[in-house]
Amino acid sequence: MAVEKNRRDFLGMAFAAVAAGGGLLSLGAMKKSWDPLPSVKAAGFTTIDLSPLKDGDFKVFEWRKKPIFILKKTSEMKKNELRDVKVSGSDYTVVIGLCTHLGCIPDWKPSEQIFKCACHGGEFDASAVNTFGPPPKPMVVPPYKIDGTKLVLGEEGPEYKKFLETSKA
Ligand code: FES
């Protein structure tokens, strides 16, 4: 009789252990399927090293399939304390390079120091603030984090959060 009871206890514990293990495995599999794929995670961030840029350099990068305009301002270019990204003592215009009228990609005109949109003649100053034509607002500053001389696009660092707060005020 005692042998039969011990056998039942053992089978009960073995069954419970298998069920608990199975449950943990299922939870692990479910969490894995909820997490974004590594390729999706990586696609969300773009790191750009600003150190090779010289004063007046304008470059176009890509982040989440959108053009990103980066302009390293010269001392003659008007600073925009609210919008400029300050890295290692230099001021940069960093925006999503899409016109805020209907989404065309403006050109940088270095001789005039403006961004000009060929679609309907919209213009933006060197800080990508709309100054003429139909664009209703400045070009959008993407979320960024400053990491030394690098900019991590897609991550909201303290400077970007401060920009958001001050631009709302
Ligand atoms: S899309 Fe740029 S001015 Fe219309």
Return the DSSP state at 125: -
Q: How far does residue 118's CA lie from ligand 1's centre (Å)?
A: 7
Closest by Cα among 104, 103, 110 to 93: 110
Per-residue pLDDT of 25-40, as tens digits, reads 665 666 666 565 555 5
Model-level pTM? 0.77
Torsion angle of the four alpha carbons 150, 153, 155, 158, in this order, in degrees rounded to the nearest 10: 60
Instruction: Report the residue among 105, 114, 117 best suited for mutation to probe ligand 1: largest number of ligand atoms under 8 A from its CB.
Output: 117
Beta partners for residue 72, in sequence order: 92
Please list, in sequence order, all residues whose beta carbon lies within 8 angstroms of the beta carbon of residue 168, skipping any fewer than 6 positions away.
none
Report, as an integer, the average pLDDT of 95-112.
Answer: 98
Report, as an integer, the average pLDDT of 132-149.
Answer: 97
Ligand 1: nearest atom to the Cα of 135: 3
CATH fourth-level superfamily of 46-168: Rieske [2Fe-2S] iron-sulphur domain (2.102.10.10)
Report, as an integer, the average pLDDT of 151-166.
Answer: 95
pLDDT at 11: 66
CA atoms within a 13 Å half-sphere pointing along the CA-CB vector of 11:
6
Q: How far does residue 96's CA lie from ligand 1's centre (Å)?
A: 14
Q: How far does residue 124's CA lie from ligand 1's centre (Å)?
A: 11
Instruction: Report yes or no: 40 and 64 within 8 Å, Cβ to Cβ.
Output: no
Out of 31-35, 78-82, 111-115, 160-164, which region has the weakest mean confidence (pLDDT)? 31-35
**Structure confidence at residue 9 as a pLDDT band (50, 70, 90):** confident
Report, as an integer, the average pLDDT of 20-28.
Answer: 63
pLDDT at 120: 98
Q: How far apart are CA 21 and CA 140, in angstroms?
A: 50
Per-residue pLDDT of 43-101, as tens digits, reads 689 999 999 999 999 999 999 999 999 999 999 998 998 999 999 999 999 999 999 99
Give the residue whose CA is nearest to atom 1 of ligand 1. 102
Residue showing tokens 């010289």: 54
Q: How far apart are CA 158 and CA 135, in angstroms?
A: 29
Out of 5-14, 29-38, 47-56, 107-116, which region has the weakest mean confidence (pLDDT)? 29-38
Q: How far does residue 80's CA lie from ligand 1's centre (Å)?
A: 23
pLDDT at 116: 98
Domain ranges of the chain: 2-35, 46-168
Report, as an integer, the average pLDDT of 141-146.
Answer: 97
